[in-house]
Each structure stands twice: as structure tokens, then as C-alpha cells.
């Protein structure tokens, strides 16, 4: 029972981190049809900035999160203007893969040149670092914080996409970009705003999830596959899909690590192959044919 509960807490927290980071990627893929392999690299920039802000500028954790998100979005603007804009909605996946892998390599190289190639810790404030007593037993506060962050992200995204005018325009652009354009929706602005939102979410996830996915020099490459798998299993552009896929993969991965550490990865990828082969558009995705 104790074991089951700690597996569950870890799995849900891990799944939430995956969700916060991958939902940005999923939205980008759903709207701009860009397979952005560099998404993890932007999450990594967020992590490095937060680590730098807390350890060298001694600011508070919450300020550091804000700095990291804003800083990463600022860094990403030239990439959007110069590079990503060229590959929006282009059908050739090879070009997208090559460009975004190139961006990933570039970011890894430059970030490690500036901040040094070592593991970056993001110290937690005392409020979040201890265990929290929830009645019958105690769980790490940080895990609960991450879970709360994930839920808030999911809810606010749902509100943003379903209830606001921006959301309506966004969904119109997803469904038929040309028609949306003709109706007077400035799709390039929608694209740019969505890009910033996606990158910001990635950076946010990178910072709050740093305890679970540690920020290290090859972060962008190590978790690139994981994020991509979440989107592919969940279906591009679907909040519900990304959330359930994150939970599913988080649970599978964490349970595997607790119970059968030798073959965890093997079963993970076997499951991914089966799911993607059976549901090529993801569990909750739509075909864009």
C-alpha cells in the first residue's frame, strides 16, 4: 500500500511534468504542423535561466520562474521570425526534422558554452522542499506543487482555447488556415502568439519539473523522444489527449522503474510502437488528411 501510494504520487507528478512540457509541443503540432524537435531545448533554456537566477542573482523561486519563462520566450523570438516561420504548415517532415534538430544542437552548444557543461540544480524554496502531511501519511510537497501546476495549466488552457476570442480564432486557424485568413483573422499573429505560448509552457515545465527531469547538458536530446512520444500517443493538438498520454506514460515508466528496472525502457518503447501502429493519429487525435 505504501509502495503503491508512492508509485502513484511519483507517476502522477512525472506525468504532469510531461504534460506541461509536451502540451506546448502538441499545440504547435496541431496548429502549425511543425514537428518541433527543439521543444526540449527551449525547456532546457528555461531551466538554465531559472538556475542562474536563483543561484547567482538570489531571487525568489516564483520570480525565477517568471524570469525563465519570459527570458525563454525572448530568446525564441528570433528563431520564430527567421526560421520557424519558413516551415509552418509545410508538408515535408524531413525539412522540419532537420531544421529543428539543427536548432537543438545549436542551443545545446551555445547554452553549455555560456553556462558551463554541468548539472544545474534549481533550489526549491523552504515552503516547497519539505514533506507535507495529508492526514494519513506525508508526501513530498514539491510533487503536490507540480501536480497542482499541471492541473492549473490544463484548466487554463482549456479555458483559453474553448472560451476566449483568441481560442476561437486559434481553432478556426487549425481547422482551415486559408479560410481563417480570408475571414480577416491575422493568422501570422495567431501563429506567433501560439508559438510564444508553447515555448513559455515548455520553459515553465522545464523549471517546475527540474526535480524530476534534472537539467543537464544533454537534456534537450535525452527527453526529445519522450516529449514527441507523448504528443504522438495523445494526438497532436488535443489537451485531453496530451493529459491522458502523459499520465499513461508516466504511470508505465514509473511503475516499470519501481518494479522491473532492467527492462523498463524496452517495454516503454514496445508499448509506444504498438499504440502508434494501431492509432497513428494518437488516442485522441484527428486526422488532418
Partner 1 sequence: MTGIATNDVPARRRLPLLQEAGSALAIAVIGAIGYYLFPDDLAFLTRLIGISFLVLSLDLVTGYCGIATLGHAAQFGVAAYAAGIACVRGVTDPLALLAIGIFAGTLMGLISGALIARFRGLPQLVLSIAVGQLVAALANKLQWLTGGSDGLSGITPGKVFGIYNFDMYSRTAYLFSLAILIIVFVALTRFVRSPFGLMCRAIKDDDLRAKMIGVAVYPRLVLMYGVSGAVAGVGGALTAMSTGVVGLDGVAFERSAEVLVMLVLGGAGHLWGALAGTIIFMIFEHIVAAANPFHWMTLVGLLLILIVVFAPKGLIEPALSLARRLTKGRAS
Binding site for partner 1 (CB under 8 A): 29, 35, 83, 86, 93-95, 97-99, 101-110, 112-113, 117, 217, 221, 225, 228-229, 231-232, 236, 262-263, 265-266, 269-270, 272-273, 276-277, 280-281
Residue 246 CB, nearest distance to partner 1 (Å)? 15
Determine if residue 89 is left, alpha or beta; phi over 0 gives left, psi from -120 to 50 gives alpha, anything else beta.
left
Residue 145 CB, nearest distance to partner 1 (Å)? 31
H/E run at residue 131: strand 131-133
Could you give the CA distance from residue 220 to residue 131 in angstroms, rounded to a whole number?
30
Residue 225 CB, nearest distance to partner 1 (Å)? 5
Which cell goes with 118?
A: 554541468
Smaller CB separation from partner 1, 97 or 185: 97
Smaller CB separation from partner 1, 250 or 282: 282
Radius of gyration of the chain (CA): 19
Residue 66 CB, nearest distance to partner 1 (Å)? 28
What count of Cα atoms within 13 Å lies in the side-chain half-sphere of residue 77?
Answer: 8
For residues 40 and 225, the answer to whether their CB atoms sit within 8 Å is: no
Residue 131 CB, nearest distance to partner 1 (Å)? 34
C-alpha torsion sign, points 107, 112, 114, 120: positive
Residue 34: CB atoms within 10 A of its CB come to 24
What's the Cα-to-Cα distance from 49 to each of 45, 73, 198, rounded to whole Å? 6, 12, 17
Residue 129 CB, nearest distance to partner 1 (Å)? 32
**Residues paired with 133 in a beta bridge:** 138
Smaller CB separation from partner 1, 198 or 229: 229
Smaller CB separation from partner 1, 55 or 85: 85
Residue 96 CB, nearest distance to partner 1 (Å)? 8
Could you give the CA distance from residue 129 to residue 140 in angstroms, rounded to a whole number?
7
Cα angle, residue 150 at apex, residues 271 and 76 outer, rounded to 5°: 90
Between helix 264-278 and helix 224-234 the angle, nearest 10°, is 40
Smaller CB separation from partner 1, 141 or 232: 232
Smaller CB separation from partner 1, 81 or 127: 81
Smaller CB separation from partner 1, 3 or 94: 94
Amino acid at each position: 500500500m505504501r509502495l503503491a501510494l508512492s508509485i502513484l504520487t511519483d507517476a502522477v507528478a512525472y506525468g504532469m511534468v510531461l504534460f506541461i512540457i509536451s502540451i506546448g509541443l502538441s499545440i504547435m503540432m496541431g496548429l502549425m504542423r511543425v514537428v518541433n524537435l527543439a521543444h526540449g531545448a527551449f525547456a532546457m533554456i528555461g531551466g538554465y535561466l531559472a538556475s542562474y537566477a536563483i543561484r547567482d542573482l538570489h531571487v525568489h523561486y516564483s520570480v525565477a520562474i517568471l524570469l525563465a519563462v519570459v527570458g525563454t520566450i525572448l530568446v525564441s523570438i528570433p528563431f520564430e521570425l527567421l526560421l520557424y516561420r519558413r516551415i509552418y504548415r509545410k508538408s515535408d517532415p524531413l525539412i522540419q526534422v532537420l531544421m529543428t534538430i539543427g536548432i537543438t544542437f545549436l542551443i545545446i552548444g551555445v547554452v553549455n558554452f555560456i553556462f558551463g557543461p554541468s548539472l544545474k540544480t534549481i533550489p526549491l524554496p523552504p515552503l516547497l522542499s519539505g514533506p507535507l502531511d495529508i492526514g494519513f501519511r506525508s508526501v513530498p510537497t514539491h510533487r503536490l506543487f507540480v501536480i497542482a501546476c499541471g492541473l492549473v495549466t490544463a484548466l487554463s488552457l482549456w479555458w483559453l482555447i474553448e472560451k476566449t476570442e483568441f481560442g476561437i480564432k486559434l481553432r478556426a486557424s487549425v481547422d482551415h488556415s486559408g479560410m481563417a485568413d480570408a475571414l480577416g483573422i491575422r493568422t501570422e499573429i495567431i501563429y506567433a502568439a501560439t508559438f510564444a505560448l508553447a515555448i513559455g509552457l515548455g520553459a515553465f515545465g522545464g523549471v517546475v519539473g527540474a526535480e524530476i527531469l534534472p537539467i543537464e547538458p544533454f537534456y534537450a536530446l535525452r527527453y526529445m523522444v519522450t516529449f514527441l512520444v507523448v504528443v504522438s500517443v495523445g494526438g497532436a493538438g488535443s489537451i485531453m489527449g496530451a493529459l491522458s498520454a502523459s499520465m499513461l506514460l508516466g504511470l508505465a515508466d514509473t511503475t516499470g522503474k519501481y518494479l522491473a528496472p532492467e527492462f523498463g525502457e524496452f517495454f516503454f518503447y514496445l508499448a509506444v510502437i504498438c499504440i502508434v501502429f494501431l492509432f497513428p493519429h494518437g488516442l485522441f487525435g484527428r486526422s488532418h488528411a
